[in-house]
Amino acid sequence: MPDRITQVEPPTVGRPGGAPVLSVIVPCFNERPNVAPMIAKLDAALAGIAWEVIYVDDNSPDGTTLEVRRIAQQDGRVRCIRRIGRRGLASAVIEGALSSSAAYVAVIDGDLQHDESRLPFMLSALQAGGYDLAVASRHVEGGDSAGLSSRWRHMLSDGGIWLAQAFLPVRLTDPMSGFFMLPRTLFEELARSLNGQGFKILLDLVLSSHAPLRVLEVPARFRERAAGESKMDALVMIQFGGLLLDKVFGGLLPLRFFSFALVGALGIVIHLSVLAVLRETSPLGFESEQAIATLVAMAFNFELNNVITYRDQRLRGPRLWRGLLLFMVVCGFGAVANVGIAQVLYERHTTWTVAGGIGAMIGVVWNYAVSATLVWRAR
Strand order in the sheet with 78-82: 78-82, 51-57, 22-28, 104-107, 180-183, 133-137, 215-219
- Site residues for Mn ion, 100-119, by CB under 5 A, read 109, 111, 113
Interaction partner, residue 234 (Mn ion, ligand GDD, none; CB < 5-8 Å by kind): none
Task: Identify the three-state secondary structure at position 23.
Answer: strand
Binding partner of residue 178 among ligand GDD, Mn ion, none, CB cut-off 5 to 8 Å per kind? ligand GDD
* Site membership for ligand GDD, residue 334 (CB under 6 A): no
CA nearest neighbour of 363 among 319, 333, 323: 333
Cα(75)–Cα(55) distance, rounded to whole angstroms? Answer: 13
Select from 39, 92, 345, 370 the one that contacts ligand GDD (CB under 6 A).
92
Residues numbered 148 to 207 that lie near ligand GDD (CB under 6 A) are 148, 157, 176, 178
Question: Among 55, 59, 66, which residue's Cα sits nearest to residue 23?
Answer: 55
Query: For ligand GDD, which is the closer residue by CB, 68 or 375?
Result: 68
Contact letters for ligand GDD, residues 113-142 (x by CB under 6 A): x-----------------------------
CB of 30 to Mn ion, least distance (A): 11
204 touches, from Mn ion, ligand GDD, none (C-beta below 5 to 8 Å by class): none
Number of H helices and E strands in the chain, helices first, is: 12, 7
Task: For residue 339, give every residue at least 6 positions away whose Cβ sits within 8 Å of its Cβ, in sequence order, or none.
Answer: 359
Q: Alpha-carbon torsion 137, 142, 148, 154, what sign?
A: positive
| Alpha-carbon span 173 to 332, nearest angstrom | 22
Out of 231, 247, 314, 377, point to the residue binding ligand GDD (CB under 6 A): 231
| Sites of contact with Mn ion (CB under 5 A) | 109, 111, 113, 230
| Sites of contact with ligand GDD (CB under 6 A) | 27-29, 31, 56-58, 87-89, 92, 109-111, 113, 148, 157, 176, 178, 230-232
